[in-house]
Structure 1
Amino acid sequence: MIENEDQARAWVEALPECDPSMIARFERFEALLRDENDRQNLVSAKSLDHTWSRHFADSLQLLQDVPRETSDWLDLGTGAGFPGIAIAIARPDQETVCVESRALRTKFLDYIVDELELTQCRILHCRLQDVETRPFDAVSARAFAPLPKLLELSSRFSTRDTLWRLPKGRSAARELENLRGWDHMFHVEQSLTDADSGIICGTLAGRKKGKRA
């Protein structure tokens, strides 16, 4: 379990993706996040003292068991950049598509992408319902919507092989237990950054025949 900033940074530095340019990008991201948070409420002010654990490591743990050969990643409701921008920093050669409907936040995300030279990262300023349907190798969403609604909105981006990574906090086990109408291979993994939080992981085959979510 990652319990403090030193442990979080050490964990990030131990990732196979990590190199000096990645750390430099995260340090710049942290500075820009702090500066922008004075203008718009991107994250809680308290969490800025724990950026490496609460935001960076918390996002990057989603990379566990996701092959580095993964070609594209869809992040829903990216907000302040988590986990989408963090994923794009760790895997800059992978296409990362971040969907965010709020104009001020997408303006900030566009600035981050330009500033950090994340050439394979795209920010879509729109509602998820308006995103063109296409399959992705991986899909993530942090605090986006309850699981049934999330799948209702986003299953069209998934194949049977798409890897789902859905941080759900304390509700992870309950949401998965109560899920009905979907043919899936989901399970809950313990978060590395919060003892009370879980991440719904796995694959989705689609709706069960004759069922609704």
Structure 2
Amino acid sequence: MKQPILDVPRETEERLRSFVALLQRWNARINLTAERNAEDLWQRHVLDSLQLAPLLPDRSSPLVDLGSGAGFPGLILAMATGHETHLIESDRRKSAFLIEASRALALRHVTVHPKRIEAATLPKATILTARALAPLTTLLGYAASILAPDGVALFPKGRSVEQELTDAARDWIMRVERIPSRTDPAATILRISEIRPAGSPI
């Protein structure tokens, strides 16, 4: 079946399809995603990740993706944009998949960090992503230490987004843009910048 795709060049689409095929082969041996068939993988993960690409600032390199799992959204964005990308994944099996996928797809601009976020040595990022990893307050703590001063964080969130924003406002000052998800009517993408601890000087 030919799955719909967001507007990307043919070469990128072919690489994305090769990635999904590789993911399916690995999924037959180890549990990387709950979805198994190509159509579900495209809709639930690939297209959901690709919708972040137009939201990246022009200066979107390097990109750091926290808790990359099977490559969503970080590896997908690396394929779509070509930006220097750092994927952080502490699970040994998932990081092995990310390393193999980067090699098989010739993604020389991708670096996989098979360790915990706190232990990773990273460049200051101009873009930070994380999907289904942690509550917003926790993510902002990472963002404050990883992002460059003019950096932007993109965090897809589900139905709990307003409560997470309320909780985060107790500890953090930030500029927030809410962008409706194009793949899930119950989801919102948070585009966050100017992050600093509450009570800190401007």
Q: Same fold (TM over 0.5)?
A: yes
Tell me if structure 2 keeps the 8 A contact 1:171–1:198: no
For 2:186, the equivalent position in structure 1 comes to 196
Question: Residues 9-34 of structure 1: CA distance to partner in whole angstroms, max 9, x if unpaired?
Answer: 1xx2x2xxx22211111110010111
For 1:66, the equivalent position in structure 2 comes to 56
Tell me if structure 2 keeps the 8 A contact 1:190–1:197: yes
TM-score (normalizing by structure 1): 0.86
CA distance in 2: counterparts of 1:208 and 1:33, whole angstroms: 41
| Aligned with 2:141 (options 138, 152, 177) | 152
CA distance in 2: counterparts of 1:152 and 1:163, whole angstroms: 14
The change in CA–CA distance for 1:172 and 1:46 in structure 2 (over 3 A counts) is: farther
Matches within 5 A, 1:1-213: 6=3, 8-9=4-5, 12=6, 14=7, 18-45=8-35, 48-92=38-82, 94-132=83-121, 134-179=123-168, 180-209=170-199
- Specify the SS of the correspondent of 2:49: helix
Counterpart code for 2:105:
L
- Specify the SS of the correspondent of 2:52: helix
TM-score (normalizing by structure 2): 0.91
Deviates most, 56-65 or 114-123: 56-65
The change in CA–CA distance for 1:98 and 1:198 in structure 2 (over 3 A counts) is: same
- Specify the SS of the correspondent of 1:71: coil
1:66 Cα shift? 1.7
- Specify the SS of the correspondent of 2:153: strand
CA distance in 2: counterparts of 1:40 and 1:96, whole angstroms: 25
Question: Residues 40-88 of structure 1: CA distance to partner in whole angstroms, max 9, x if unpaired?
Answer: 1111135643222211110011122323442210000000110011011
C-alpha root-mean-square deviation of aligned residues, in Å? 1.9
% identical equivalent positions: 31
